[in-house]
Structure 1
Amino acid sequence: MKIDWDDHEELKAEGIAMSRRFAFGQEMSCLKVVADQAGDLNLPPHWHENEQWVVVTEGSIRFVCDETEYELNSGDVAYIPSRQRHTATFVGPEGAVLMEFSAPPRLDLAPGSIMPSSMKFD
Structure 2
Amino acid sequence: MITERIWSYPPQCAYSEGQDLTGYAVEATDGTIGHVDRQADDSGMRHLIVDTGVWVFGKSVLVPAGVVTGVDTQAQKITVVCTRDEVKSAPLFKTDRETQDPAYLERVGSYYQSLPPRQPA
TM-score interval w.r.t. the shorter chain?
Answer: under 0.3
Question: Relative contact order: is structure 1 or structure 2 higher (C-alpha 8 Å, sep ≥ 6)?
Answer: 1
Larger C-alpha radius of gyration, 1 or 2?
A: 1
Task: Name the structure where strand makes up a greater proportion of residues.
Answer: 1
TM-score normalised per structure 1: 0.25
TM-score normalised per structure 2: 0.26
